[in-house]
Amino acid sequence: MISIVAAAATVAACATAPEVGSGPGSGQRAPERLGVEVVEVLPHDPDAFTQGLEIAGDTLYESTGLVGESTLRAGPVGAEPTAVASLEEPLFGEGITVVGDRVWQLTWRGGVAVEWDRETLTERRRADYSGEGWGLCHQPGRERLVASDGSPTLTFRDPDDFSRIGSVTVTDSGTEVDELNELECVGDEIYANVWHSDDILRIDPESGTVTARIDASGLLDPAERQDADVLNGIAAYGDSGYFLLTGKLWPKMFKVRFVPSG
């Protein structure tokens, strides 16, 4: 839900601790409830079936899906891509993340992650993995990638060879949360789109606990929703507190910040 909360109200609400849950996760703090405040509206390719989104430096990287239409794109934020690389059939592009001079891209059921050169978008190599690929992000401070597969499990992978090095189960007040999709790593926290919803979760990757649930509904108007698919794209503007949101076949992107709801 879009919020236009004033700055003073934002500060006051942020100081209020969330209530302790009384359900399956009794004893755990219930997640914060947040909304989005739109700062800027930017154009987005309405034909892009967005699967991954990440800003690195001044460049926006985007992965798109569908068999025969999957791409990796790069270019200035809010402008036409300056470079586009295609995945051959039957690969279906999924989440991406930038690691140094490389970009890792997942495939949905192809069982391979593709490593691209960040500057030229030429393929360097491929790494095999089991299961489905959905979302992907990089935690440089912990030297690991974080991957989702539509289940409540986040898998940690080595950023060099893509080998599995651990996992964590995501819970909200003690209840497992599935359909975790596109991911964004910001410092020691992970943000995850939840498929079939307008929710974004903020997750503590060490415990798997959901620390905030963000309602991002209402970004598109009813007419724009007619041809659009689900929310599925979240990219942080560094550690500024601003994020870029979009979705599959959305005609717009939104620069936002997360603010207390209500």
pLDDT of residue 194: 96
| Positive/negative CA dihedral, 197, 203, 205, 207 | negative
Sheet holding 112-117, edge to edge: 93-99, 102-107, 112-117, 123-128
Domain positions in the chain are 7-16+29-260
* Omega before residue 90 within 30° of 0, cis: yes
pLDDT of residue 20: 32
Q: What is the largest CA-CA distance in the chain?
A: 52
- DSSP structural state of residue 141: G
Burial of 7 (0-12, 13-18, 19+ CB in 10 A): exposed
Strand, helix or coil at 140? helix
Nearest Cα to Cα of residue 98 among 36, 54, 150:
54
C-alpha to C-alpha distances, 122 to 40, 189, 203, 252, nearest whole angstrom: 32, 30, 33, 28
Q: Which residues of the chain have pLDDT under 70?
A: 1-28, 262
**Reported CATH class of domain 7-16+29-260:** mainly beta
Whether the CB-CB separation of 156 and 170 falls below 8 Å is answered with: no
Lookup: tokens for 237: 């503007």
pLDDT of residue 29: 79
Q: Could you tell me the pTM of the whole model?
A: 0.88
